[in-house]
Amino acid sequence: MGYPMLISSALIVLGAFLLAVSLVPTTRIIRDLSPGPTQSRWKLLRGFIVLFIAGYAVCLGTFSAQRDASHVVVSSIFFLGACFVMLVCVLAHGTVRDIKRIATLEAETITDPLMEIYNRRFLERRLEEEFARARRYGFPLTVLLLDIDHFKKVNDDHGHQAGDLVLKGIGEILKKTVRNVDVPARYGGEEVTILLPHTPDTEAVILAERIRRSIEGHPFPVDAPAGSVIPLRCTVSIGVAAMTRECANAGQLLHMADTAMYRAKQDGRNRTVVFHCGKETAVGAGTAA
């Protein structure tokens, strides 16, 4: 075998090796992607790479048998093609990894780490956006403000770890109860605000009552002094405020919800109160806590 054929064979072998190497980042991309059309396309690409490797092996045998010096040009093209495939796969894997890192960092900046719902910063930004959109197009917009009843007593009697478990549990209930378009956010301490775009107050009240009853009936397991686990019961007071033409800004809408929530506290807690054009209306109440 002459030098041209040695060079040709070496290029084919190196090309097949590079294609095999490209399977590593391709497989990692498939693993990192969620099931769906994009993942399926990458699986298809991986299948093509495997076929290319088999094709390179066939070409290697053909070139060795024919001993044609012109095959050096063809094998060079094959080698460059393998370099291109490997480079694309490596760059794509790096891009996917960077996107995931950015998404993780963004989620951390807008999410409350304890309740695993949005934080106040994100809420205030979305509230301004939704208020402007509702004002411009006439969409209904409602805000719920939820406060845990006697939360200080929970911390005093059972410890702050129990309080954290309650907050985390309420966060789980909210994520299961609200719609995808709703924005539940920890406003501060034991207060949670839920932004409800395209939602009139009648539907907001139904959701508020569903949340209140779900929390009232949910046992939050906390550690007892003797080492056992006891079910802790909690209730919430909820204020509901719907945007009206009299609302000057988003802050006023939030203040209305806050006023309704404090009225619910004053009226005995574990209830929902709606702010309607300067007056508060109780629409649901459980056993006073």
Per-residue model confidence as pLDDT tens digits over 206-262: 999 999 999 999 999 887 766 678 889 999 999 999 998 888 899 999 999 999 999
Domain boundary among 110, 134, 162: 110
Residue 190: active-site member:
yes
The parent domain of residue 251 ranges over 120-285
Q: By the 8 A CB rule, do 270 and 156 touch? A: no
CATH number at 235 reads 3.30.70.270
Residue with tokens 């391709």: 26
Residues 129 and 241 reside in one and the same domain: yes
Mean pLDDT of 7-24: 87
pTM of the predicted model over 0.75: no
Residue 157 confidence (pLDDT): 86
Evaluate whether residue 32 is within a structural domain: yes
Tell me how far apart the alpha carbons of residues 274 and 235 are, in angstroms, rounded to a whole number. Answer: 18
Span 131-162, pLDDT tens digits: 999 999 999 999 999 999 999 999 888 888 89
Tell me how far apart the alpha carbons of residues 147 and 260 are, in angstroms, rounded to a whole number. Answer: 11
Contacts 24+ apart (CB under 8 A), 150-156: 150/269, 150/289, 151/189, 151/190, 151/234, 154/232, 154/234
Residues 196 and 126 reside in one and the same domain: yes
Residues 185 and 227 reside in one and the same domain: yes
Residue with tokens 């309080």: 163
Three-state helix/strand/coil letters over the chain? CCHHHHHHHHHHHHHHHHHHHHHHHHHHHHHHCCCCHHHHHHHHHHHHHHHHHHHHHHHHHHHHHHCCCCHHHHHHHHHHHHHHHHHHHHHHHHHHHHHHHHHHHHHHHHECCCCCCECHHHHHHHHHHHHHHHHHHCCCEEEEEEEECCHHHHHHHHCHHHHHHHHHHHHHHHHHHCCCCCEEEEEECCEEEEEEECCCHHHHHHHHHHHHHHHHCCCEEEECCCCCEEEECCCEEEEEEECCCCCCCHHHHHHHHHHHHHHHHHCCCCEEEEEECCEEEEEEECCCC
Domain boundary among 110, 136, 165: 110
Residue 288 confidence (pLDDT): 53
Tell me how far apart the alpha carbons of residues 97 and 221 are, in angstroms, rounded to a whole number. Answer: 38
- How many domains does one find in the chain? 2
Evaluate whether residue 115 is within a structural domain: no
Catalytic pick from 124, 130, 172, 190?
190
Residues 10 and 94 reside in one and the same domain: yes
Query: How high does pLDDT run on average in the chain?
Result: 87
Residues 70 and 176 reside in one and the same domain: no
Name which of 14-18, 71-75, 190-194, 247-251 the model is least confident about. Answer: 71-75
Evaluate whether residue 251 is within a structural domain: yes
Residue with tokens 């497989």: 27
Mean pLDDT of 177-194: 94
Mean pLDDT of 43-56: 90
Sequence-distant (≥ 6) Cβ neighbours of residue 262 within 8 angstroms: 239
Give phi and psi for 260, each to the nearest 5: -65, -35
Residue 200: pLDDT band by 50, 70, 90 thresholds? very high
Residues 146 and 44 reside in one and the same domain: no
Evaluate whether residue 230 is within a structural domain: yes
Residues 249 and 267 reside in one and the same domain: yes
Residues 177 and 232 reside in one and the same domain: yes
Residues 88 and 125 reside in one and the same domain: no
Residue 76: pLDDT band by 50, 70, 90 thresholds? confident
- Here the tokens at position 85 are 């495939």
Tell me how far apart the alpha carbons of residues 46 and 40 are, in angstroms, rounded to a whole number. Answer: 10
Span 106-130, pLDDT tens digits: 777 889 999 999 999 999 999 999 9
Name which of 38-42, 118-122, 261-265 the model is least confident about. Answer: 38-42
Residues 176 and 279 reside in one and the same domain: yes
Residue with tokens 């370099």: 83
Max Cα separation, the chain? 97
Domain boundary among 110, 131, 150: 110
Residues 188 and 262 reside in one and the same domain: yes
Q: Which of 61, 68, 178 shows the shortest CA–CA distance to 117?
A: 178
Query: Is 60 exceeded by the pLDDT of residue 80?
Result: yes
Residue 47 confidence (pLDDT): 92
Evaluate whether residue 193 is within a structural domain: yes
